[in-house]
Amino acid sequence: MNGDTFKDKSTAIVFSNQTKIIFIIALLVSLIVVIAITITRGAYNVPIIAVYEVILDNLNLADQSNRLYDTIVWNIRVPRILLAIAVGIALGTSGAVYQGTFRNPLVEPFILGVSAGAAFGAALSIVYPQYLFSVQISACIFGMVAVFGAYSLARVRGETPLVTLILAGVILGSIFMSGVSILKYISADTQLREIVFWMMGGFYYADWDIVWKVVPAIIICSIVLCLLGWRLNVLSMGEEEAKMLGINTERTKIILITLATFVTAISVSAVGIIAWVGLMMPHAARLVIGPDHRFLIPSAAIMGAIFLVICDTLARTLTTAEVPVGIITSLLGAPYLIYLLRTKKNIFFG
């Protein structure tokens, strides 16, 4: 794997920085429109005027909302949509950061074993709840342990080669998934169902408590990663070039990977494993806006938010029983990757 792997040879139009900013603003407007539409849709459709009244009422700006609408909108749909937005931002951001750091377009947020570690932590907490923290805390801790274990395993003579780090992540991911399989084997039927359901990913447990625990941390870390976009631009040129320009590559990699892993671990701990978002959204943003991470990271983040809000709406409206959102993202993600392989082979193979 080398720097040539990630040269952007796509046919994307080259935009000026001002045009890129306008594009990001357009994405934000699109996100607002998607929220306005999806918040009214569900098993019980709510008029947009009623949604507006409920929000004003809960912000103490009015006192005229319907109690049924208040329960549906404020207690169920608003936390769910906010969590979907935050997780979409986290996965889109971390995907762009990972792809830039490793200079490889096939890298995604789960490459270093964070999903396998989180799955093991969640399964362990489900099977032995009397010995561990909640499922969310246990999943987050083990997700971080997996990544830092991979980093420690890959570190050689004070440096961490990217290829070695990926291999270490694959190895630890395999070990943790073996642990998950063992826990599935010894678990009771109800525990097995809970493990499988958690691993498929979904926003069915979303509430205000989870929102307040997860969303602020994701937003803060994502903003920091956006501000570090210029460093990622330099790092993407190759480690030797970055060192010549005065960048401490080892420290920069640690900061980028730690923050990207942290937001991924928090997301996985809250909603389970949701695949493809961190792979697809950076690609979609890169094809439109180019490889400049100062604009690529926020674009991928907002696209991830839009995508997950739409997928979650489909998950809860396609059938009478809710479909895990991880299934929806996988069904949409595989055809997208096939499209990229068929039409943009130069992105993958140079």
Q: What is the CATH number of the domain that holds 37?
A: 1.10.3470.10
Per DSSP, what are the bridge partners of residue 156?
A: 159
Q: How many CB atoms lie within 10 A of CB 14?
A: 7
Mean pLDDT of 34-59: 89
Does residue 14 or residue 130 have the better pLDDT? Answer: 130
Q: Say whether pLDDT at 312 is over 80.
A: yes
Total structural domains in the chain?
1
Cα 204 → chain centroid: 17
pLDDT at 235: 86
Do the beta carbons of residue 100 and residue 286 sit within 8 Å?
no
Q: Say whether pLDDT at 95 is over 90.
A: yes
pLDDT at 10: 45
Question: Domain range spanning residue 181?
Answer: 3-349
pLDDT at 93: 97
Report percent pLDDT > 90 for the chain.
Answer: 53
Reference 339, options 297, 279, 294; nearest CA is: 279
pLDDT at 249: 83
pLDDT at 287: 86
Per DSSP, what are the bridge partners of residue 159?
A: 156
Do the beta carbons of residue 280 and residue 333 sit within 8 Å?
yes
Task: Give the chain's largest Cα–Cα span.
Answer: 66
- Which of 63-67, 159-163, 195-199 comes out lowest in average pLDDT? 63-67
Give 318-328 pLDDT, tens digit per residue. 888 889 999 99
Give 242-258 pLDDT, tens digit per residue. 788 788 888 898 899 99
Q: Say whether pLDDT at 337 is over 90.
A: no
State how far the alpha carbon of 32 is from the alpha carbons of 10, 15, 338, in Å.
Answer: 30, 24, 30
- Which of 113-127, 240-254, 256-270 comes out lowest in average pLDDT? 240-254
Q: Which two tokens stand for residue 178?
A: 């073996």
Mean pLDDT of 72-100: 95
pLDDT at 15: 73
